[in-house]
Structure 1
Amino acid sequence: MPANNFHIKGLTNDQVLQAREKHGFNKADYKKETGFFIGLKSLIKEPMVILLLITSSIYFISGEIGDGIFLAAAIVLVSGISIYQDSRSRNALDKLKSLTQPNCKVIRNDKVEEIKSEEIVLGDHLVVEEGSLIAADGIIIHSNDFSVNESILTGESLPVFKDRTQKDNFIYQGTTVTSGLAIATVTAIGIRTKLGKIGQSLESIQEEKTPLEIQINDFVKKMIFAGAIVFLIVWALNYFHGHDVLDSLLKALTLAMSILPEEIPVAFTTFMALGAWRLMKMGIVVKQIKTVETLGSATIICTDKTGTITENRMSLAKLFVPSTQKIHTADELIEDTEKELIRLAMWASEPIPFDPMEVALHQAYTQLNNGDERPFYKMVHEYPLEGKPPMMTHIFENRSGKRIIAAKGAPEALMNISNLSVTEKQQIENAIQILTTEGYRVLGVGESSFQGDKYPAIQQEFQFQFKGIVAFYDPPKKNIQSVFENFYKAGILVKIITGDNAATTTSIAKQIGFRGYEKSLSGDELMLLNDGELHEKVMTTNVFTRMFPSAKLKIINTLKTNNQIVAMTGDGVNDGPALKAAHIGIAMGKKGTEIAKQTASLILLEDDLSKMVDAITMGRRIYANLKKAILYIISIHIPIILTVFIPLALGWIYPNIFSPIHIIFLELIMGPTCSIVYENEPMEKNTMIQKPRPFTTTFFNWKELATGIIQGLIITIGTLSAYQYAVLQNYSEGITRAMVFTTLITANIFLTFVNRSFYYSMITTMRYKNNLILLMISSTVIITGLLLFVKPLTHFFQLATLSRVQLLISIGIGFISVIWFEALKWIKRIKNNA
């Protein structure tokens, strides 16, 4: 087959380089702030940084230069960690954006090539076809039954038909092809396109926050508000007792710092962005970060058959011609009638085939015919794939006016509009039954004739002759059975939704051990069901055949009303509505149309459904680790807040046990622990044998928070017990502070280990591979040791060196205040194994 059938040579490689050097790449390079400055601006607005600046300034004003320098250094350190985390997240997202760049087809060097859209140059010959996203502005030089959806520019949702003879013979970047094919010479790229000229305003549009992100921000705002109120109360109390404005302000700021859970939004952003980056490394491109939140909740996966369950390498396997009443294999010596059937099926295909079946037909035609007719014929009219059941028709004509009108599609579609006797219909149906039950995919082929240039409005108005059936075999993927077993183990239902017929689909489903292959439902049958029947059928039926866009959409929406979290795979234009409606729309990276990729929220680069198992695994892991991080933050914040507040509120002997330097030290430990260490935690071994977690509307409910709050309260009891023990022993304020500080640090260390799993024991989780946790814990132990035993540091932090007994008591109390949770986990495991 020739590289292209349009007699267009296109640009040469040298011409492409010259055009690119002169006009640049096809991308919108608007002036943007660098990621560093964006991170810096957001950092300046952070409440914790503002509090540190105020506190540091007060220390300098009051003459406590050492404390002021320490907090100034802390500001630099906190800022460095924040900017590092922000840059990690931003770099991960930038890499994802580069992978989601759409591809397009151009004619260069007399060949049709697939390139990235940003590589288009001025003067290129752009090939756009049904399902593609137009990547640049251009003027049409050739088209067949070509229509475009220009709603992104005009707001008009109806398709606009175009050809080179019309006044508006331009195509525009960002619009989508709804039918046919066109070739256009590129006239504008990048910001010089019609869309690019309004792109600057689009750049300023903020990405919508996800529900969980909104809830986290609301939670932090409430904590800030609460902190502000408590800050004023504590300031007033301290001023009432001491009548020192700056001193009382410092003590109030200490409490305000302890209340702020600024690590939570940092942890959320880090987990989502790095989770998406990890998925990208696995060949899964997440276009919308909110998808990462949803992945772990998926309860149903709706998959198409061709290319997802099967290899999508269609081979022409068998032929049936009514006149001979025989089914021939395609590789045996075939007669002229079978050759004519293949010839007509090829003419009914696209000149530049995209679909694997059409590729197979073109290849078979080339092998069986000595003379190639294709260069001498031009497509003059096209009826795209449509109807129930679907079919498509192409009309070709040569210079002498000879026409070929060929159609292919579902055999039933062509049988309905062909003049067949009852006997002939029965013979064809028998052949279809034999072929489909063996797992072959079948297409009917028809031929018609027509005089004149005013073609019928719809293809069904032609009078067709039914010429025969071409049957293709697309073997199941080798790993697909194990993929489905993994979904079943994870408590996820799988449903096949395909445009193919019931017999072929059932045969393939049976071969791979698909659950529920015995019962199927067609698109037409589905549309006749009432609401009650529909809700029942979509849950009890696992094979849906002869599906069309509205039927697919109805299945997805009905599953959603049944409180299911739905993932759906798709690759074609017709899958667009259902992909958009699903909670997780999954497009195929290789065989998927650009419309499918643009609509979906996730792209499988290798068209491998096993990657969805990995994606769901990653989604569950991210959610579990985020929960661990947030519960850790809550658990450790509670004792800090109460240890600062209770001695002051109750008038204990040492009312200001912690100062800002102690709080900031604890913050520096907690930040990296929750957002770096927990993000790096491996998946627990029971993750993929659990049922999908309920997709609740809120993360912050009492059921989720109870564990963290109880842990925090018990750690508080431990720290305050250490305080009271020291007071009862008549220890000095320095020793008391050192014991409370050591108890809290010890509790923090063991809490980090205990909360690595809410099910498995600490002994088990010690074997988890996470080098960062050992780095963080060892750093914390070393620095705490320096604070307790190096005199200048001990003096600076207003601590005292502890004796061995005092140190062991502090460590013991910290250990006991956390380790009790291991007993609860042990009881939980006993119950589950009972």
Structure 2
Amino acid sequence: MSTYNIPDHLKGLTDDEVTASRARHGYNRMEEIEKNSFLDMLADLIKEPMLILLFAISIIYLIVGDYGEAVFMFLAIIAVSAISIYQNNRSKKALQALEKLNEPLSTVIRNSEVIKIPTHDIVVGDLCIAEEGKLINADGRVLHSNDFSVNEASLTGESFSVFKNSAAENNRVYSGTIAVSGLAVFEVEQIGKQTKIGEIGDSILTIKEESSPLQIQIRNFVKSMAIAGIIIFLMVWGFSFLQSGNAVDSLLNGLTLAMSVLPEEIPVAFTTFMALGAWKLMREGIIIKRSSIVETLGSTTVICTDKTGTITENSMQLKLLYDYRSDRTFGEKEFGAPELEMLIDYAMWSSEPVPFDPMEKTLHKVYEQTREKDVRKDYRLFHEYPLEGKPPMMTHLFENLGSERIVAAKGAPEAILAVTTLSDTEKTRIRDLVGDFGRKGYRVLGVAKSGFSGHVFPEKQQEFEFEFLGLVAFYDPPKAGIQEVFRRIYDAGIKVKVITGDNADTTGSIAAQAGIVNTTKVLTGNDVARYTEKELMTVSEETVLFTRMFPQAKLSVVNALKKKGEVVAMLGDGVNDGPALKAAHIGVAMGSKGTEIAKAAASLVITNDDLGKLVIGIAAGRRIYTNIKKAIQYIISIHIPIILTVSLPLFLGWVFPQIFTPVHVIFLELVMGPTCSIVYENEPMEKNTMQQPPRVMTDTFLNLRELTVSIIQGVMITAGVLFTYQWSVQNGGNEEKTRAMVFTTLITANIFLSLVNRSFFYSVFDSFKNRNRLFPLIIGLTLVLLFAILYVGPFARFFHVTGLSPRELGISLLVGGVSVLWFELYKFFKRTRKKGLVK
């Protein structure tokens, strides 16, 4: 508890008291709407168009007495439902794992110890510690505070911070608000739905997540196909009835065709790809808040990154000390020099008593190493001015039992120089020195002292009269391997912007060492504030380094880039980064050093603060989007021959108009479902994916050229299937023989199509190098089932087919292969043409 400077009488609840409180008041969570219960899942399944069609066909078979077909349809319903439930469960478990990992921890005092617990474990009576940058997760009464202020905008809409203490009129804190400065201990009085935000926030639980552009496009495509299916169903039913006069057979023909038109695999594939993509990224240390953000990741065109701890190691080694009184610069081995005593003391006193910032930790460590007597325990922090200003500074006031005071300040050199009594000439000389340090890549802070004996403190720290003591220069080297990370980012066609609170010289030096290009032009936060919106759109596109940035300036740059058409990923870790993180397409918070408010505002959290993880996320987003497109193109291509094989013999008056019945179509659907939504989801990234420019996020998921390719593939497979049909008829094949050859050709074409469409650029042999263990499994199972249908008597009779001779089987396999493998020639010419253009 001493780590937090908390009074010893605040001991917190015992374990028994926690148990008793939880029994009375429950857990600290809003009542969750039960999602995906068995009844809900059943209700969702019943609404599925494919299942409605299967039920209708099953009932018709029962009415006409075809009990075998009816049983098969019921088994098909079970199979389709099982696949759907399996996919839903995979998605649900992945999302539940993400939600569990996203839950913040809260700091409480229990059994006289400070511990961290999951937020939902807070109970009434707990003593919670709220500190700068953290979310407050329950309602309560402040018992102890130290310069503690809260932003209550989530409740009141007021953006200004409110200072809180144990005074009766201002001692309440509320769940959902943010601690802006200082520290407080509060006793929990309400949790969960009983909190102030809980009382007004029930509606939050029912808010639906906004659909992404790809979701909307896919939904509209499926709706269009469903409408087309209804129209074709009515046409076929009417045409067939006019031809045969048999209402039941005509209805079955219409339902068969409607089933072949409906692309119900597409939305299932989309949901599965996104949820599992987010889950796989979680295992890489990338926590995705919303699964649909995976789609956006692959479209990233600009990464706006902080410098400290993202590009650099955040180790903050103290390298140089400049003492103003002696006008000397001291290296690391000289820190024990007597001239530096006051500079080191005041640099330490201006830091937090319990430091969490790497620079402040270093200053405390240097103080310990260079002082014979440690007097920190003799003084208490009794007034504090938090880090603020443009550029920022901070001031601490300490006092001992003898009423001796220390007033220490540190901050950006410009901020410290502005409040000291130095002459303009001296200020210019110090600025030149700061510039020299900055060009070496050092992070420089100014240190100053003041004397103040009164008790009515100035409203602003800048109103004190300060004496300039000197400069402290830290070196935070670029992370190992960061040059390779930026090379990969640039290779992927993504621009980089560095947005930092540091000065231009230091930022430029570190950026150059890290491999960031085009760093000559620099904008400061004040520069950004002076531009009009239109001007900022232009200069933000051209500029790489943004220094001395404050929250509104960061937000302005992000919005300008968005309006310019960029897809922006913004990396941030502080309270002040919240607005920019929220505004960016992808807000990225740092898991280790990030504040809770930054994590709450972000849509993605990198657990180990490694920028390279964002590159992994972008690659995953591109892989998933590419694989979704492959799955959809596969679905379109294979649906076309099914639709035409069902309809053309009927419309053209061929000898066997009902070559496929619902039994055959549902078998093909059951083969296609796992192929598109399970196998393609597992497909690894193609080798050229991260060498391509980002896709335009507003593009349709299939452009005209891609859709045309899929349609041509489908038409070619149809030509092969109908060729087999006619070959069988011309060679005296009966209906069972013809159906067997057509069915075998279509299954073969389906297998080859799934392999060929693994890449629309590289050859099928290259694709084999991308290991996907699910492909041989699904293909093997499909072939086993095909040969069982052809050569196992009961199955053959049920599917109304007969066994094929080696010659007939060979023709079906050959035609199925040729109808698909022609596409390899197209890919070959595509690769040849690209090589020619490159040359």
TM-score under structure 1 length normalisation: 0.95
Out of 638, 641, 659, the residue aligned to residue 639 of structure 1 is: 641
Give the number of equivalent residue pairs: 833
Q: What SS class does the counterpart of residue 444 from structure 1 fall into?
A: strand
CA distance in 1, matches of 2:71, 2:625: 39
| Map of 1:458 onto structure 2 | 460
Q: What SS class does the counterpart of residue 167 from structure 1 fall into?
A: helix
Q: What is the identity, as a one-letter code, of the residue corresponding to 2:691?
A: I
Q: What SS class does the counterpart of residue 469 from structure 2 fall into?
A: strand
* 2:335/2:370 contact within 8 Å kept: no
User: How much does 1:108 deviate?
Assistant: 5.2
User: How much does 1:367 deviate?
Assistant: 3.7
Q: What is the identity, as a one-letter code, of the residue corresponding to 1:202?
A: I
Task: State how 1:196-345 maps to structure 2 within 5 Å.
Answer: 196-198=198-200, 200-345=202-347
| Map of 1:6 onto structure 2 | 6
Out of 566, 572, 575, the residue aligned to residue 574 of structure 2 is: 572
CA distance in 1, matches of 2:449, 2:793: 97
| Map of 2:692 onto structure 1 | 690
| Map of 2:484 onto structure 1 | 482
Q: What SS class does the counterpart of residue 653 from structure 2 fall into?
A: coil
* 1:5/1:374 contact within 8 Å kept: no
* 1:328/1:334 contact within 8 Å kept: no
What value does the CA root-mean-square deviation take over the aligned residues?
A: 2.3
User: How much does 1:649 deviate?
Assistant: 2.2
Which stretch of the first structure deviates more once superposed, 32-41 or 658-667?
32-41
* 1:147/1:162 contact within 8 Å kept: yes
Out of 760, 767, 770, the residue aligned to residue 768 of structure 1 is: 770
Which stretch of the first structure deviates more once superposed, 348-357 or 495-504?
348-357
Residues 333/668 of structure 1: CA separation in 2 closer, same or farther (3 Å cut): closer
* 1:535/1:559 contact within 8 Å kept: yes
Q: What is the identity, as a one-letter code, of the residue corresponding to 2:559?
A: N
Q: What SS class does the counterpart of residue 58 from structure 1 fall into?
A: helix
| Map of 2:84 onto structure 1 | 82
CA distance in 2, matches of 1:700, 1:415: 59
User: How much does 1:402 deviate?
Assistant: 4.1
* 1:4/1:110 contact within 8 Å kept: no
Task: State how 1:546-625 maps to structure 2 within 5 Å.
Answer: 546-625=548-627
Which stretch of the first structure deviates more once superposed, 174-183 or 275-284?
174-183
The reply to whether residue 777 of structure 1 matches residue 779 of structure 2 is yes
Task: State how 1:40-79 maps to structure 2 within 5 Å.
Answer: 40-79=42-81
CA distance in 2, matches of 1:36, 1:490: 44
| Map of 2:184 onto structure 1 | 182
| Map of 1:171 onto structure 2 | 173
User: How much does 1:806 deviate?
Assistant: 2.0
Q: What is the identity, as a one-letter code, of the residue corresponding to 2:220?
A: D
Q: What is the identity, as a one-letter code, of the residue corresponding to 2:395?
A: T
Q: What SS class does the counterpart of residue 435 from structure 2 fall into?
A: helix
Which stretch of the first structure deviates more once superposed, 507-516 or 69-78?
507-516
Q: What SS class does the counterpart of residue 3 from structure 2 fall into?
A: coil
User: How much does 1:652 deviate?
Assistant: 2.2
Q: What SS class does the counterpart of residue 352 from structure 2 fall into?
A: coil
Task: State how 1:652-667 maps to structure 2 within 5 Å.
Answer: 652-667=654-669
Residues 432/207 of structure 1: CA separation in 2 closer, same or farther (3 Å cut): same
* 1:39/1:87 contact within 8 Å kept: no
CA distance in 2, matches of 1:634, 1:36: 32
- What does the per-residue CA deviation read over 1:607-651, in whole Å, with 9 as the maximum and x for residues that have no partner? 111111211111111111111001001111111111112222222
- What does the per-residue CA deviation read over 1:22-68, in whole Å, with 9 as the maximum and x for residues that have no partner? 41653345462555444333212111011111111111111110000
User: How much does 1:676 deviate?
Assistant: 0.4
User: How much does 1:298 deviate?
Assistant: 1.2
Residues 11/331 of structure 1: CA separation in 2 closer, same or farther (3 Å cut): farther
User: How much does 1:218 deviate?
Assistant: 1.8
CA distance in 2, matches of 1:370, 1:246: 100
User: How much does 1:162 deviate?
Assistant: 2.1
CA distance in 1, matches of 2:97, 2:573: 23
The reply to whether residue 794 of structure 1 matches residue 833 of structure 2 is no
| Map of 2:821 onto structure 1 | 819
User: How much does 1:481 deviate?
Assistant: 1.1
Q: Which runs of 5+ in 1 are unaligned?
A: none
Residues 106/474 of structure 1: CA separation in 2 closer, same or farther (3 Å cut): farther
User: How much does 1:522 deviate?
Assistant: 2.0
Residues 289/131 of structure 1: CA separation in 2 closer, same or farther (3 Å cut): same
User: How much does 1:529 deviate?
Assistant: 3.8
- What does the per-residue CA deviation read over 1:366-423, in whole Å, with 9 as the maximum and x for residues that have no partner? 4444555444544443322222111122333445544433221101111111111234
* 1:147/1:161 contact within 8 Å kept: yes
Q: What SS class does the counterpart of residue 4 from structure 2 fall into?
A: coil
Which stretch of the first structure deviates more once superposed, 187-196 or 663-672?
187-196
CA distance in 2, matches of 1:476, 1:252: 67
* 1:8/1:107 contact within 8 Å kept: no
User: How much does 1:20 deviate?
Assistant: 4.2
CA distance in 1, matches of 2:186, 2:250: 74
Q: What SS class does the counterpart of residue 441 from structure 1 fall into?
A: strand
* 2:98/2:289 contact within 8 Å kept: yes
User: How much does 1:294 deviate?
Assistant: 1.1
Residues 150/535 of structure 1: CA separation in 2 closer, same or farther (3 Å cut): closer
Q: What SS class does the counterpart of residue 733 from structure 2 fall into?
A: coil
CA distance in 2, matches of 1:200, 1:81: 34
Q: What SS class does the counterpart of residue 76 from structure 1 fall into?
A: helix
CA distance in 2, matches of 1:343, 1:188: 44
- What does the per-residue CA deviation read over 1:645-693, in whole Å, with 9 as the maximum and x for residues that have no partner? 2222222222222111111000100000000000011111111112222
User: How much does 1:505 deviate?
Assistant: 1.3
* 1:393/1:405 contact within 8 Å kept: yes
User: How much does 1:822 deviate?
Assistant: 0.4
* 1:191/1:197 contact within 8 Å kept: yes
CA distance in 2, matches of 1:333, 1:211: 59
* 1:3/1:111 contact within 8 Å kept: no
Out of 666, 669, 672, the residue aligned to residue 670 of structure 1 is: 672
User: How much does 1:111 deviate?
Assistant: 5.8
Which stretch of the first structure deviates more once superposed, 418-427 or 626-635?
418-427
| Map of 1:712 onto structure 2 | 714
Q: What is the identity, as a one-letter code, of the residue corresponding to 2:232?
A: V
Q: What is the identity, as a one-letter code, of the residue corresponding to 1:756?
A: R
Q: What is the identity, as a one-letter code, of the residue corresponding to 1:282?
A: E
Residues 110/502 of structure 1: CA separation in 2 closer, same or farther (3 Å cut): farther
Q: What is the identity, as a one-letter code, of the residue corresponding to 2:146?
A: N
Residues 18/165 of structure 1: CA separation in 2 closer, same or farther (3 Å cut): closer
Residues 42/157 of structure 1: CA separation in 2 closer, same or farther (3 Å cut): farther
Q: Which runs of 5+ in 2 are unaligned?
A: none
User: How much does 1:233 deviate?
Assistant: 1.8
* 1:432/1:442 contact within 8 Å kept: yes
| Map of 2:18 onto structure 1 | 19
Q: What SS class does the counterpart of residue 141 from structure 1 fall into?
A: strand
Which stretch of the first structure deviates more once superposed, 365-374 or 650-659?
365-374
TM-score under structure 2 length normalisation: 0.95
Residues 747/10 of structure 1: CA separation in 2 closer, same or farther (3 Å cut): farther
Q: What SS class does the counterpart of residue 693 from structure 2 fall into?
A: coil
Which stretch of the first structure deviates more once superposed, 258-267 or 175-184?
175-184
* 1:308/1:609 contact within 8 Å kept: yes
